[in-house]
């Protein structure tokens, strides 16, 4: 058992060291949601009135509404950046060090997922701290009750990132992930607008948003921040995390790239 | 028991056969040179030995452990230095080694002791806190060797480890690995496409187009070694 623990610790420590060394990565992860919060939300505050919807007990500002979505945005970008790092590691050869470990490959990949997820959480809490100072203040205990929800969402998005990285042939193809994964997931969700507003605009747009896994992730975090449980969102996130992680492990095979090149 | 036993190994990249009915064995404590021109299948063999690629046909046994049936036990016996550097350039020497030790499940204290020992052995003790990016090619290779030896493997694979080094560093690296082989009874499989990296007492394996075309002690080839290699890199199979 200690062998597994040491391995997990080593992988998490490496991710931490890389994170500490890349301060610009930390700053850019914060700048993106802060721009949305401080600039975009300030501009749209007057235009977008938010009715009383669960889990909120009263009228809220637009800034309050989008904070859970922006927290998930950090997790989304980190998950996809994790996928980019996997492709980079694969191309640069450093993935080989991980894969020649005698421990089971599924465990190694799960450890990598967990390590990336934990680093993402640090960034989310840094963002929540700034949002708190700015005036978006969920209940203090909500910050604690949101931790498992945030961890689950981070794992979900990292597993999706790992799954995608298995299909990306080259680093250059990563731009496609931005256009076809990140943007649709984020904009077609409840991160920026409540679903009822989407329904007012278009029925099919509403259904796209309602079926988007990222909407469930956002709602899980939104409810957890206010110490409430959104059971359906939890079940969807749990199920998808398990599915994506399983598919990611099953489809992970370093020889695929070589075979594809030859084929 | 053989250190390495490769039997009926075959591997294809789609329609292209990279290895074909490859079979050989290495005795413990020997330095073996796997010689072959580019594209002979050396790196494919290393990828199979290290389980980066799944076996398609045949089997590999490392100190009796089948890579197909007992991969964990087999991989524990194995240290690898890949052709392409796999060090994390942004981390220090110490951090790179600690990461490798963790991947092999070594407890922290033991890992630290082994890191100090291996770095001292590679004469890199003073550079432990340097980022790998700051090291020259020869020193990077030494760090990779130190890393490969951390978990005390009994078989060390070096895939074109001298690639990209200047002649002096190449010579020093070869001497160093041979010394390790003798001092620690380590079995070494050194792949190369350079004839001058082979020495008289080495076990020599010649690979061409995925097939073993010659095998024996290098000195058995006598003066004909150069000619054999020329034939190997040209077309016809050769015999010792």
At A104-141, the pLDDT tens digits run 989 999 999 999 999 999 999 999 999 999 988 899 99
Work out the average pLDDT over B191-208: 87
Q: Are B158 and B70 within one domain?
A: yes
**CB-closest option in A93, A255, A259 to B82:** A93
Q: Is residue B69 in some structural domain?
A: yes
Asked if pLDDT for residue A18 goes beyond 60, the answer is yes
- DSSP three-state, residue B187: strand
Q: Is residue B83 in some structural domain?
A: no
Task: Using alpha carbons, select from A117, A125, A89 the residue that is nearest to residue A252.
Answer: A89
Q: What is the DSSP letter of A236?
A: H
Q: In this structure, are residues B75 and B105 in contact, taking their beta carbons and an 8 Å threshold?
A: no
pLDDT band at A228 (very low <50, low <70, confident <90, very high): very high
Q: Which residues of B175-198 are buried (b: 16+ CB within 10 A; e: fewer)?
A: ebbbebbeeeebbbbbbbbebebb
**B84: chain A residues, CB-CB within 8 Å:** 92-93
**B88: chain A residues, CB-CB within 8 Å:** 14, 18, 94
For residue A46 the two structure tokens come to 């007057």
Q: Are B140 and B43 within one domain?
A: no
**CB-closest option in B13, B85, B102 to A262:** B13
Q: Are B35 and B72 within one domain?
A: yes
Q: Are B15 and B51 within one domain?
A: yes
Instruction: Specify the DSSP element, H or E, that contains A213.
Output: helix A213-225
Question: CA triplet B38, A165, A244: central angle to 5 degrees?
Answer: 135
Q: Which of B107, B128, B152 is where one domain is finished?
A: B152
Q: Closest-CA residue in chain B for A108?
A: B103
**CB-closest option in A7, A18, A104 to B102:** A7
**B156: chain A residues, CB-CB within 8 Å:** none
Q: Is residue B82 in some structural domain?
A: no
Q: Are B178 and B69 within one domain?
A: yes
Q: Are B92 and B73 within one domain?
A: no
Q: What is the pLDDT of residues A68-101, one digit of tens each?
A: 999 999 999 988 888 777 777 777 777 888 888 9
Distance CA(B55)–CA(B8), nearest Å, equals 11
Q: Are B142 and B170 within one domain?
A: no
**A96: chain B residues, CB-CB within 8 Å:** 50, 52, 80, 82, 86
Mean pLDDT, rounded, of chain B: 88
pLDDT band at B75 (very low <50, low <70, confident <90, very high): very high
Q: Are B110 and B31 within one domain?
A: no
Work out the average pLDDT over B99-119: 94
* A–B CB contacts, 8 A cutoff, strictly below: 101
Give the minimum alpha-carbon distance from B191 to chain A in angstroms, rounded to a whole number.
18
What percentage of chain A carries pLDDT values higher than 70? 91
What percentage of chain A carries pLDDT values higher than 90? 48
pLDDT given at position A102 = 92
CATH number of the domain within which B219 lies: 3.40.50.300
Asked if pLDDT for residue B157 goes beyond 50, the answer is yes
Asked if pLDDT for residue A21 goes beyond 70, the answer is yes
For residue A135 the two structure tokens come to 């005036």
Q: Which of B106, B124, B152 is where one domain is finished?
A: B152
pTM of the full predicted structure? Answer: 0.85
Distance CA(B55)–CA(B9), nearest Å, equals 8
For residue B63 the two structure tokens come to 């100190």
Q: Which residue has the higher pLDDT, B229 or B35?
A: B35
Give me the number of domains chain B comprises: 2
Q: Specify which residues B35 forms β-bridges with.
A: B192, B206
Q: Name, of A155-159, A172-176, A253-257, the range with top average pLDDT.
A: A155-159
Q: What is the DSSP letter of A194?
A: -
Work out the average pLDDT over A5-16: 93
**B81: chain A residues, CB-CB within 8 Å:** none
Would you call B152 an interface residue with chain A, using a CB distance cutoff of 8 Å? no
pLDDT given at position B240 = 39
pLDDT given at position B238 = 42
- DSSP three-state, residue A172: helix
Would you call B71 an interface residue with chain A, using a CB distance cutoff of 8 Å? yes
Would you call B131 an interface residue with chain A, using a CB distance cutoff of 8 Å? no
Do the Cβ atoms of A7 and B103 come within 8 Å?
A: yes
Mean pLDDT, rounded, of chain A: 87
For residue A148 the two structure tokens come to 């498992």
Asked if pLDDT for residue A54 goes beyond 80, the answer is no
Chain A contact residues (CB < 8 Å to B): 2-4, 6-7, 9-11, 13-14, 17-18, 21-22, 92-94, 96-104, 108, 253-255, 258-259, 261-263
Distance CA(B68)–CA(B9), nearest Å, equals 12
Give the minimum alpha-carbon distance from B152 to chain A in angstroms, rounded to a whole number.
13
Q: Are B112 and B160 within one domain?
A: no
Distance CA(B221)–CA(B226), nearest Å, equals 9
- DSSP three-state, residue B206: strand
Strands (E), chain B: 4-13, 16-26, 31-35, 57-62, 65-66, 78-81, 155-159, 187-192, 203-208, 211-217
Do the Cβ atoms of A258 and B53 come within 8 Å?
A: yes
Q: Are B183 and B144 within one domain?
A: no
pLDDT band at B236 (very low <50, low <70, confident <90, very high): very low
Structural domain range at position B164: 1-77+153-240
**A99: chain B residues, CB-CB within 8 Å:** 50-52
Q: Are B72 and B2 within one domain?
A: yes
Q: Which of B134, B152, B170 is where one domain is finished?
A: B152
Q: Are B197 and B110 within one domain?
A: no
pLDDT given at position A218 = 97
């Amino acid at each position: 058992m200690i062998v597994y623990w040491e391995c997990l610790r080593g992988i998490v420590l490496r991710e931490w060291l890389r994170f500490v060394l890349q301060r610009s990565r930390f700053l850019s992860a914060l700048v993106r949601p802060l721009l949305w919060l401080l600039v975009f939300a300030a501009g749209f505050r007057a235009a977008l009135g938010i009715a009383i919807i669960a889990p909120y007990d009263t009228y809220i500002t637009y800034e309050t509404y989008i904070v859970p979505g922006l927290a998930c945005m950090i997790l989304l970008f980190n998950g996809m950046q994790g996928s980019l790092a996997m492709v980079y590691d694969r191309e640069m050869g450093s993935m080989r060090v991980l894969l020649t470990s005698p421990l089971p490959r599924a465990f190694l990949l799960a450890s990598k997922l967990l390590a990336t997820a934990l680093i993402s959480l640090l960034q989310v809490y840094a963002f929540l701290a700034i949002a708190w100072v700015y005036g978006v203040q969920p209940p203090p205990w909500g910050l604690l009750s949101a931790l498992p929800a945030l961890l689950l969402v981070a794992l979900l998005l990292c597993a999706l990132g790992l799954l995608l990285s298995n299909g990306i042939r080259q680093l250059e193809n990563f731009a496609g992930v931005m256009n076809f994964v990140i943007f649709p997931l984020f904009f077609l969700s409840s991160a920026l607008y409540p679903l009822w507003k989407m329904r007012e605009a278009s029925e099919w747009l509403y259904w796209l948003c309602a079926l988007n896994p990222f909407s469930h992730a956002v709602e899980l975090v939104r409810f957890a921040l206010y110490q409430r449980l959104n059971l359906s969102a939890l079940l969807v996130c749990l199920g998808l995390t398990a599915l994506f992680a399983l598919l990611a492990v099953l489809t992970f095979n370093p020889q695929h790239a070589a075979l594809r090149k030859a084929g | 028991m053989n250190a390495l036993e490769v039997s009926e190994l075959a591997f294809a990249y789609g329609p292209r056969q990279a290895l074909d009915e490859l079979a050989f064995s290495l005795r413990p404590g020997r330095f073996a040179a796997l010689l072959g021109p580019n594209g002979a299948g050396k790196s494919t063999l290393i990828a199979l030995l290290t389980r980066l690629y799944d076996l398609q046909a045949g089997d590999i046994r490392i100190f009796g452990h089948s890579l197909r049936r007992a991969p964990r036990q087999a991989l524990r016996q194995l240290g690898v230095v890949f052709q392409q550097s796999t060090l994390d350039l942004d981390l220090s020497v110490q951090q790179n080694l600690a990461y490798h030790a963790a991947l092999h499940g070594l407890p922290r204290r033991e890992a630290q002791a082994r890191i100090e020992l291996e770095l001292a052995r590679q004469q890199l003790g003073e550079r432990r806190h340097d980022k790998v990016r700051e090291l020259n090619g020869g020193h990077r290779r030494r760090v990779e060797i130190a890393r490969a030896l951390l978990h005390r493997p009994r078989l060390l694979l070096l895939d074109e480890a001298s690639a990209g080094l200047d002649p002096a560093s190449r010579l020093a690296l070869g001497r160093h690995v041979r010394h390790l082989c003798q001092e620690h009874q380590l079995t070494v499989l050194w792949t190369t496409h350079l004839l001058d990296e082979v020495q008289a007492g080495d076990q020599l394996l010649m690979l061409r187009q995925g097939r073993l075309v010659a095998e024996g002690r290098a000195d058995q080839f006598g003066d004909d070694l150069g000619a054999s290699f020329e034939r190997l890199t040209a077309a016809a199979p050769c015999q010792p």
